[in-house]
Structure 1
């Protein structure tokens, strides 16, 4: 395999491993070389290899056996490579949201404006009413809720930044909801964020927001059933 030189490295590493599996380099139930060996072969870090393995495991092609190694589960993908690219793109958008929304939640808690908090709660109620709606409809209501939190921060540039990428956030959320089953835990996550803001606990608001969005990254990257909405 040729060394990888262009970003995103994890996706390109996954593509290279994908091609090798489909091409017959490794057979079903055969163990792959170690992370260190694959990293050296591709010219990337071990963390990149681990992410590539997670992407292919989500598509049913690889399986990790604890304490043993990584094995080929199937030489036939259960989905197209386009879906792998889609998963990577969703995770990228979520990472951007972590940077924006965790800080916004902290600022909203510090500001602790009663009117803004009431608006956040109204948006949350509306999102909850959309739980059984189509992914596109639920995604819009969900992002509207998170936008209210950014607005409650009182930071105009942060809100402008969020609004500039809002269409992509809604699109990524709709794609997420079409890939990952919804769990009842999302209500707990969202209420935890709102409660921290209402309690003027900026540290907790930032932490629970970050943890919530990171759980979505893990869910979409690992193909976990029962992930929460954002």
Structure 2
């Protein structure tokens, strides 16, 4: 049974509309996995747009893992459900699991920071440590933000953009969980201050082993609390 025409689009971001229209046809199963999509000219005519718009839409679908272009053969459906991007997967993951991976990233970052820190990095660390101490008497969200800022300063001192990007990806998934943790569990005033002071000192002195060990112990304690 022939499928109905796609129908022309409304004036608005045409690439986004074309992408959603084609995505809807794929996820509905109208074009099963392995199906060769109609050519760009046919799709452009059905959608009432130019071929360049169709090309961009197909590129977006390929990025989502739904289609794949094969040289000289056309564009074929490879999946009926889009692949979740990294931020989405982090939001869906258990907080303790995300924190466990965060430990792996940050412990290595602390080791590298001790080896690569610059005078500007050390200054930034001391500034962030002072801000964390000042935030201890503020609300939970403010304290968590100050704590994250200090950890971000350690990661930045590693001078590895991939580690920096990974840490940035973890932050949204962890921030609310840490705020909730502070509100639920009785903690001492300015929790972790001694450990963070030791961390900054180790990085400043270039003691990579001490920096990694201190951060592993500090994050491990929080992970234990998250696992309950």
TM-score (norm 2): 0.56
What is the deviation of 1:194?
0.6
RMSD: 1.7
Q: 1:212 aligned to 2:212? A: no
**119 and 128 in structure 1: CA distance in 2 versus 1, 3 angstrom threshold:** same
Partner of residue 199, structure 2: 193
Which residue, out of 77, 91, 97, partners 1:92? 97
What is the deviation of 1:219?
2.6
Cα-to-partner distance string for 1:168-203 (whole Å, 9 max, x where unaligned): 122222122122222245111101111110110101
Unmatched 5+ stretches in structure 1: 1-87, 223-230
**90 and 183 in structure 1: CA distance in 2 versus 1, 3 angstrom threshold:** farther
Partner of residue 175, structure 1: 180
Once the two structures are superposed, the pairs formed by residues 78-227 of structure 1 within 5 Å of their partners are: 89-184=94-189, 186-222=192-228
Name the CA distance, whole Å, in 1 between partners of 2:142 and 2:94. Answer: 20
What is the deviation of 1:99?
0.8
What is the deviation of 1:98?
0.5
**132 and 93 in structure 1: CA distance in 2 versus 1, 3 angstrom threshold:** farther
Tell whether the 8 Å contact from 2:95 to 2:173 is kept in structure 1 after alignment: no
Tell whether the 8 Å contact from 1:135 to 1:174 is kept in structure 2 after alignment: yes
Tell whether the 8 Å contact from 2:110 to 2:215 is kept in structure 1 after alignment: yes
Name the CA distance, whole Å, in 2 between partners of 1:148 and 1:182. Answer: 24
Name the CA distance, whole Å, in 1 between partners of 2:118 and 2:139. Answer: 33
Count of residue pairs brought into register by the alignment: 135
Tell whether the 8 Å contact from 1:193 to 1:209 is kept in structure 2 after alignment: yes
Tell whether the 8 Å contact from 1:93 to 1:172 is kept in structure 2 after alignment: no
Unmatched 5+ stretches in structure 2: 1-92
Tell whether the 8 Å contact from 1:179 to 1:220 is kept in structure 2 after alignment: no
Tell whether the 8 Å contact from 1:121 to 1:194 is kept in structure 2 after alignment: yes
Q: Could you tell which deviates more after superposition, 213-222 or 202-211?
A: 213-222
SS at 2:196 equivalent: helix
